[in-house]
């Protein structure tokens, strides 16, 4: 069996078990619909239902449907508009077509007849995907089970996640070269796109391309067309997609500065140590808490804060400099679903007290793909809080002032947890290839 048919068999078995447990006879999944701007005829960027692209490598196919029934082949209702304004989806092709029952329709409403099966039907989709007699019901218990399972990637999925890192890494290299040549954020972004072969519309998330102080904005959303007079640092958080699977990679580059380069080197070691903590059975929350202790050590070692590690975590000094989670599940979605599930029934696994931005609280297991993305930033609004706190006296404010010009550091890799031993680092492996 090839990897795709193995993947389909796994999904079919999981789905059949979940349907039986939840009292359904079949599952229909809508690919989704295009949405239009208010009072306008321009559609927003189409975002496929991730449940749909879990089964099929089709990410630009609105108005299509899947039907999963125990003991039957997967039915694909493939919408191919007869349209001369836009390019319709091409004729169905690719290895997936050999594994499914394929029905091609040219009008969205024609899907309904092919989804009408006896028994109780679960329907996963956005409300706008509804057809007469086919109203998405999104049963929570069924969704819980599917979301829980999605964290464990099949070999087919790992193949695409590996490829998504390999696609992004040459683009990160091109961005670093553009930064070294004094390019603007917009020019760096374009260099990234050119090298990845993606357009803006293909990216798994909007590129974060932040020069100098902009690196302190966690989700900096602009791309200045003019280069600053001096480019001191670049923080670039950018991914790529392969068959609907994303990479999510951050690198921070320096134009050369003793203090900033020292901080960068310390964060590089810290990040690698955290990646090495990704092991089967480890509670991901412990990696997040370990990151705080390690950030405290960096703050002390580079001379930013003169307090003990315990005092820094207890007084929440590390949260000033590292105010986000250590990472998240990665897959069909950049922030993949199911990060807080204690089990498949939907019980939740809480975040540690005082850590509201952590997106993953599950124990790690073989086949899970997570990001490890520690950061250390100089964020004006949080530094103001620090100045007003008792810990202020222990802070080297002249060094903070100097490092503020560089914004911050984030280093983010995509990592596969293995059954035993150290993890597979998709991102570092891809950097090793170029
Ligand atoms: N690129 C968003 C994140 O790193 O989570
Ligand atoms: Mn990222
Ligand atoms: Mn991330």
Average pLDDT of the segment spanning 370-398:
98
Residue that terminates a domain, selected from 131, 149, 167:
149
CATH number at residue 68: 3.40.350.10
Mean residue pLDDT across the chain: 98
CATH number at residue 264: 3.90.230.10
Near ion ligand 3, which residues have CB within 5 Å? Answer: 248, 371
Domain carrying residue 271: 155-433
Do 66 and 119 share a domain, yes or no?
Answer: yes
Do 132 and 167 share a domain, yes or no?
Answer: no
Residue that terminates a domain, selected from 115, 149, 183:
149
Do 214 and 82 share a domain, yes or no?
Answer: no
The closest-lying atom of ligand 1 relative to the alpha carbon of residue 208 is 1
Residue 300, SS3 per DSSP: helix
Burial 90-129 (b: 16+ CB within 10 A, else e): eebeeebeebbeebebeebeebbebbeeeeebbbbbeeeb
What is residue 32's predicted lDDT score, i.e. its pLDDT?
98
**Chain centroid offset of residue 89 CA:** 26
What is residue 83's predicted lDDT score, i.e. its pLDDT?
93
The closest-lying atom of ligand 1 relative to the alpha carbon of residue 335 is 5
Do 233 and 352 share a domain, yes or no?
Answer: yes
Do 255 and 118 share a domain, yes or no?
Answer: no
Left if phi > 0, otherwise alpha if psi is -120 to 50, otherwise beta: which for 367? left
**144 to each of 138, 140, 342, 344, 396, how far by Cα in Å?**
10, 6, 11, 6, 48
Average pLDDT of the segment spanning 355-374:
98
Do 377 and 254 share a domain, yes or no?
Answer: yes
Query: Which letter does DSSP use for residue 392 in this model?
Result: G
**Angle 426-433/155-180 helices, nearest 10 degrees?**
60
Angstrom distance (rounded) from CA 242 to CA 164 = 5
Do 371 and 249 share a domain, yes or no?
Answer: yes
Angstrom distance (rounded) from CA 141 to CA 153 = 21
What is residue 1's predicted lDDT score, i.e. its pLDDT?
62
Query: Which letter does DSSP use for residue 412 in this model?
Result: B
Average pLDDT of the segment spanning 131-141:
98
Do 384 and 342 share a domain, yes or no?
Answer: yes
Angstrom distance (rounded) from CA 295 to CA 410 = 12
Average pLDDT of the segment spanning 78-98:
95
Asked if pLDDT for residue 358 goes beyond 90, the answer is yes
Neighbours of 54 (CB within 10 A): 20
Do 308 and 165 share a domain, yes or no?
Answer: yes
What is residue 319's predicted lDDT score, i.e. its pLDDT?
98
Neighbours of 225 (CB within 10 A): 9
Ligand 1 cavity residues, CB under 6 Å: 205, 237, 248, 334, 373, 412
Q: How far is the CA of 320 from the centre of ligand 2 (A)?
A: 19
The closest-lying atom of ligand 1 relative to the alpha carbon of residue 324 is 5
What is residue 258's predicted lDDT score, i.e. its pLDDT?
98
Left if phi > 0, otherwise alpha if psi is -120 to 50, otherwise beta: which for 119? left
Do 341 and 415 share a domain, yes or no?
Answer: yes
Do 294 and 346 share a domain, yes or no?
Answer: yes
Count of structural domains within the chain: 2
Do 117 and 135 share a domain, yes or no?
Answer: yes
Residue that terminates a domain, selected from 113, 128, 149:
149
Asked if pLDDT for residue 407 goes beyond 70, the answer is yes
């Amino acid at each position: 069996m090839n990897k795709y048919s193995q993947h389909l068999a796994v999904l079919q078995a999981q789905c059949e078990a979940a349907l039986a447990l939840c009292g359904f006879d079949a599952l229909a999944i809508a690919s989704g619909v295009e949405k239009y701007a208010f009072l306008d005829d321009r559609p927003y960027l189409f975002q496929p239902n991730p449940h749909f692209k879990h089964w099929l490598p089709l990410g630009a196919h609105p108005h299509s449907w899947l039907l999963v029934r125990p003991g039957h082949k997967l039915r694909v209702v493939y919408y191919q508009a007869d349209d001369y304004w836009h390019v319709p989806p091409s004729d169905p092709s690719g290895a997936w077509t050999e594994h499914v029952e394929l029905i091609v329709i040219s009008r969205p409403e024609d899907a309904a007849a092919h989804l009408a099966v006896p028994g109780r039907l679960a329907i996963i989709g956005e409300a706008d995907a509804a057809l007469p007699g086919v109203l998405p019901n999104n049963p929570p218990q069924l969704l819980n089970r599917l979301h829980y399972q999605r964290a464990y990637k099949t070999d087919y999925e790992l193949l695409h996640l590996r490829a998504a890192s390999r696609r992004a890494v040459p683009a990160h290299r091109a961005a670093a070269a553009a930064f070294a040549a004094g390019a603007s954020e917009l020019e760096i972004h374009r260099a990234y796109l050119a090298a990845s072969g993606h357009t803006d519309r293909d990216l798994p998330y909007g590129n974060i391309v932040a020069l100098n102080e902009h690196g302190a904005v966690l989700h900096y959303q602009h791309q200045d067309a003019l280069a600053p007079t001096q480019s001191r640092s670049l923080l670039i958080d950018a991914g790529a997609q392969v068959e609907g699977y994303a990479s999510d990679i951050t690198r921070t580059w320096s134009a050369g500065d003793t203090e900033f380069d020292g901080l960068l080197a310390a964060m590089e070691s810290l990040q690698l140590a955290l990646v090495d903590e990704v092991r089967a059975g480890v509670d991901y929350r412990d990696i997040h808490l370990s990151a705080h202790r390690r950030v405290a050590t960096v703050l002390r070692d580079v001379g930013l804060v003169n307090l003990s590690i315990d005092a820094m975590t207890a007084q929440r000094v590390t949260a000033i400099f590292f105010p986000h989670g250590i990472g998240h599940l990665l897959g069909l979605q950049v922030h993949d679903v199911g990060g807080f599930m204690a089990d498949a029934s939907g019980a939740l696994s809480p975040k540690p007290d005082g850590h509201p931005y952590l997106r993953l609280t599950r124990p790690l297991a073989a086949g899970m793909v997570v990001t490890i993305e520690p950061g250390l930033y100089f964020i004006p609004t949080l530094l103001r809080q620090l100045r007003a706190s008792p810990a202020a006296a222990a802070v080297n404010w002249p060094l903070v002032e100097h490092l503020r010009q560089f914004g911050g550091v984030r280093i983010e890799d995509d990592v596969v947890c293995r059954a035993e031993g150290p993890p597979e680092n998709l991102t570092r492996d891809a950097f090793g290839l170029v």
